[in-house]
Amino acid sequence: MAKKSEKPDTKELAKKLLIDRKNGFFSVSDSKVKKADAFCEGYKDFLENAKTEREAVNTALKIVQDAGFVPFEADKQYQAGSKVYYNNRGKSLILAVIGTEGCKNGVHIAAAHIDCPRLDLKPHPLFEQNDLAHLKTHYYGGIKKYQWTTIPLAMHGRICRKDGSYVDLRLGEEPGDPMFTISDLLPHLSAEQSQKTLGKAIEGEKLNVLVGSRPVRDEDGERLFKLNVMKLLNEQYGITEEDFVSADIAFTPAFHPCDIGFDRALVGAYGQDDRSCAYAELMAAVKTKTPKRTAITVLADREEIGSVGNTGLDSNFLHDFIEDLADAEGLKVRHVLAKSRCLSADVTAAFDPNYPDAYEANNSTYLNNGVGLSKYTGARGKYDTSDACAEFVCEIRRLFDENEVLWQIGELGKVDGGGGGTVAMYIAGMNVDVIDVGVPVLSMHAPFEVVSKLDEYMTYQGVKVFFEAE
C-alpha cells in the first residue's frame, strides 16, 4: 500500500518564501515610534523656516555650522572626520564628511532637492483692474491650478534694487502679518466653469494674487490702487516697481506644519516634496562621524522643472566638487565616480484609498511602512529614468535589513497612468550607481501634503547607515 504523503506546513512555507507586507507599526518597537515622533519635531521646524530654496539653504547652514561644518576649500586636503560645506549661489548646498579612505574607493552620495511647486512673480507683475491691485504669477513646477485659489498665501524671496543692494521678504508667516490670496468664482456664477475639466477650469493667467484695494487719495490721479501698493512697498522696503525685474519672489501657502490625525502619526505641511528627504539626509550628514568612504550630501535646486540651471543637478557643480576632492588626493575623478554609490532621496506616491484606481496596489508604497525604494521612475515605458541594477538594489536591501531600517518598494502609480522623474538620471550620468529612496507622500505637489513620521525617521536612518556602510 502506498505511503500517504505528509501534509505540508503551509504557514512555515509561506513564512520562508513569501513577503509578509504588514503595516510598519507591527514591525517596530514603541521606542522607535517615540524616536520618530521626536525626530519630526525638528523636521516641522525645518519646514516652517524653509519654504523656498534660499530659505532651505540658510536654515540648513545654521544646522550644519552648529554641528562643526566649515566652508570648503578646493585646494585643501582634509583629514578623516572633517566636515565641510559648499554653498552654491544660496540656492543649493553640498555637505561632505571626509572618510578614513577618502575618495579612493568611491564616495557615498545622498541627493535631494529643496525647490517645490509654487507661484513665481512675472517680471512686470503689478497691475490694477476695477479698483483692485494684483500681482501676476507664473507657476513653477507641476501644480493643479485650482488648488491654489482661495487659500492664504505668503510672500517669500529677494528683491535686488538697481544699486545692487537687496531686501529679503518673508511676509504672511508671522502673527499680525498680512496674507494674500487668489479669488475664485462663487458656485452661483460658475455653471460654465464647472463644465470645464479640472486642468482648464483655472487658467494660468488667472492666478493673480490679490494684494491691495485702497487707493492713494487723489481723485485726479491715475493707477491709484497700484500706486498705493508701491507706495507702501517703497516706504517699508525701499523698492520701486522696476526692481521687480531683478527679483526672485514666490508665493507659497501660508499653512504651518502640523500633526495630522487623533494619533498624531502624520505631518501635514507645504513643501514635503522633497524637503522631507532633504531634512532626512541633512540630519544623517550631521550625525555621521567618520565614515569609511567620504559621505556627500547634496541639496539641489530646480528639480521640479528638470534640474536645469547652474543650481540644478543637470549641471557640473556636484561633479566639480567631487573632482576637487579627488584632485586633493591625487585621484582622477572618473575613477572615483565609477566606484561611487548614490541614494537619490526623493519622495514617492503613497497609496491613497480615496483614489485606488490610480495605483497598482501590489506595487505601491504605503504610509507607515518605511522608506520607499524605487528601482526606476520615469513614465510610460521608463522614459527619463535611471533603472538601478539588481546588484545595487540587493546591496541596499541587505544594508537596510541588517540595520533594522523599515523599507518597502513600489512604483509611482499605474504603468500607463503617469509617472515622474528625480535627479537620479543626472547622477547616474556621471557613471555612479544610483537608486531612488524616499518618503511616501499623500497629495504630492498640493499646497498641503501629508507624510508619516515613521517613514520620515526611517528615511533618515536609511541614509545614515548608507553613509556609515563599509
Task: Kindly report, residue by residue over 246-282, the tens digit of the pLDDT.
Answer: 999 999 999 999 999 999 999 999 999 999 999 999 9
Task: Kindly report, residue by residue over 7-60, the tens digit of the pLDDT.
Answer: 788 999 998 999 988 899 999 999 999 999 999 999 999 999 999 999 999 999
Task: Kindly report, residue by residue over 135-154, the tens digit of the pLDDT.
Answer: 999 999 999 999 999 999 99
pTM of the model: 0.96
Helix axes 30-49, 272-287, angle to 10 degrees: 110
Pairing of strands 258-260, 266-269: antiparallel
- pLDDT mean over 96-118: 98
Helix axes 30-49, 453-467, angle to 10 degrees: 90
Task: Kindly report, residue by residue over 348-368, the tens digit of the pLDDT.
Answer: 999 999 999 999 999 999 999
Cell output for 279: 531634512
Asked if 371 and 455 touch (Cβ cutoff 8 Å), the reply is yes
User: Which pLDDT band holds residue 221 (cuts at 50, 70, 90)?
Assistant: confident
- 134-144: b or e for each residue (b if 16 or more CB lie within 10 Å)? bbbbeebbebe
User: Which pLDDT band holds residue 1 (cuts at 50, 70, 90)?
Assistant: low
| Range scoring the smallest mean pLDDT among 186-200, 213-227, 233-247, 375-389 | 375-389
DSSP of 372-388? EEES--EETTTBT----
User: Which pLDDT band holds residue 2 (cuts at 50, 70, 90)?
Assistant: low
The C-alpha angle with vertex 48 and arms to 53 and 377, in degrees rounded to 5, equals 55
Please, what is the end-to-end C-alpha distance for the chain in angstroms? 59
Q: 75 CB contacts (<8 Å, ≥6 apart)? A: 324, 328
**Residue listed under C-alpha cell 498680512:** 178
Distance CA 159, CA 123 (A): 11
User: What number of other Cβ atoms are within 10 A of residue 150's Cβ?
Assistant: 10
Asked if 316 and 126 touch (Cβ cutoff 8 Å), the reply is no
Distances (CA, A) of 445 to 101, 118, 147, 268: 40, 9, 10, 13
Cell output for 37: 515622533
Say which amino acid occupies 371: V
DSSP of 431-461? T-EEEEEE-EEESTTSSSEEEEHHHHHHHHH
Cell output for 442: 499623500
- pLDDT mean over 459-468: 98
Distance CA 165, CA 244 (A): 13
**Is the model's pLDDT at 378 over the cut of 80?**
no
**Is the model's pLDDT at 226 over the cut of 70?**
yes
